[in-house]
Amino acid sequence: MYIIIVGAGNVGYYLAKTLLNAGHEVLLIERDKRRCELLRDEFGESVMRGRGDEIRTMREAGADRADIVVACTGDDEDNLIISQIAKWYFNVPRTVARINDPRNESIFQQLGIDATVSSTNIIYHLIEQEIEAGEVIPLAALKRGNIEIVDIELSTRSPVVGKRVQDLPLPPDALIVCIIRQENAMLPHGDTVLEANDSVIALVSAQNERQLRKVFAEEQYE
Amino acid sequence: MRIVILGCGRTGAALARIMAAEGHRVTLIEWNNDSLERLGGKFTGAVITGNGLDEDVLKKAGIEQADMFVALTEGDNRNLMAAQIAKDRFHVPKVIAKVNDPIRAEAYRERGIYTICYSLIGSAMIRDLAYDRPLGSVEEYNVVPPELKD
């Protein structure tokens, strides 16, 4: 995965480090010259000086092939604009914005930002979700009704592989709406049997998302 | 008209004074009390001290009834965020933002926020003056010329 992180404060710094250690391609963009020089020793080519809210910088950064852009500067307004530019101009599939004022969450959502987070830890967990097989990726939160659309990729070790849809211990307010198998989308029936590498698209209420995740996750059953 | 202005810099203060003098109901939002001195003694509008990205502050300034919202702080992104809140959240009919980066100004103008870019207007105007050409319209100046696109 190619992940661009804008803002090399503490959040950006540790996030970049963590993702690099996990083997991802990371580019850390920082506008402060001195901060960049300090980071250069540790990150080498993975640091770039520039402003993530400028289209030119993002083009140079290769934003058009980025899987995720994380805007984690200290200013909410900068993080909003960085995320919007990434989406509008470079079609980045997923934008994550750090917010300092939690009340901005719904505004960011309304303005098209995929995810907002307010600490290093949560950012890392979100990205972890994106990356690891067998995890649940929230595709979208429906604005009204508090329902999320999630994409669950089944690893070979998922406990649901080989099971029929009707036998899954789904939480309340969860509905499997589609299964994508080898690029083909199919509408599942109760007797559809899940296979490894299936992508399961489900609707779930926000409060039951975690429970749904447990049904498909491998570790719980190991 | 009911007008909410964010930012009491030179432009914000001048606009507030002019519009208030012309009989409009002006509310100015500014978080730095020192900047309010620019309003002079005769300003008849209202002043709210606070953060213009805070919905509660915006509501206090009457954004829900406003006919027009103008974002004129020093920060491009601040202006763009405030303008989007005004437009998408509070459905203010007319929203204008000052944006100094020409590229960003154009990006948001294409998406329905009317942006004014002083750096573009100023530089294009000076170019015409350099060639002794008649001055063009602000609308002409406010677009990104090909030389700046890359």
- ipTM of the complex as predicted: 0.89
Answer for the pair B99, B39: CB distance below 8 angstroms, yes or no. no
Mean pLDDT of B119-141: 94
Nearest-neighbour CA in chain A from B40: distance (Å): 30
Tell me the chain A residues in contact with residue B103 when contact means C-beta distances shorter than 8 Å: 54-56
Residue A183, pLDDT > 60, answer yes
Q: Which superfamily, per CATH, for A2-131? A: NAD(P)-binding Rossmann-like Domain (3.40.50.720)
**What's chain B's average pLDDT?**
94
Q: B78 and B90: one domain? A: yes
Which residues, numbered 118 to 137 in chain B, qualify as contacts with chain A under a Cβ-Cβ cut-off of 8 Å?
A: none
Tell me the residue range of the domain where B108 lies.
Answer: 2-116
Answer for the pair A93, A83: CB distance below 8 angstroms, yes or no. no
Mean pLDDT of A187-194: 89
Consecutive H or E run containing A205: strand A199-205
pTM over 0.90: no
Consecutive H or E run containing B43: none
CA distance A108 to B82: 12
Q: How confident is the model at residue B123 (pLDDT cuts 50, 70, 90)?
A: very high
Residue B53, pLDDT > 90, answer yes
Q: Which of B58, B59, B77 to mutate to test the interface with A (most CBs of A within 10 A)?
A: B77
Q: Does B80 touch chain A (CB under 8 A)?
A: yes
What are the pLDDT digits (tens) for A31-82? 999 999 999 999 999 999 999 999 999 999 999 999 999 999 989 999 999 9
What are the pLDDT digits (tens) for B90-122? 999 999 999 999 999 999 999 889 999 999 999
Domain boundaries, chain A: 2-131, 136-221
Q: How confident is the model at residue B147 (pLDDT cuts 50, 70, 90)?
A: confident
**What's chain A's average pLDDT?**
83
Pick the CATH number of A136-221 from 3.40.50.2020, 3.40.50.620, 2.40.50.100, 3.30.70.1450: 3.30.70.1450
Q: How many CB pairs (< 8 A) connect A and B?
A: 50
Residue A128, pLDDT > 60, answer no
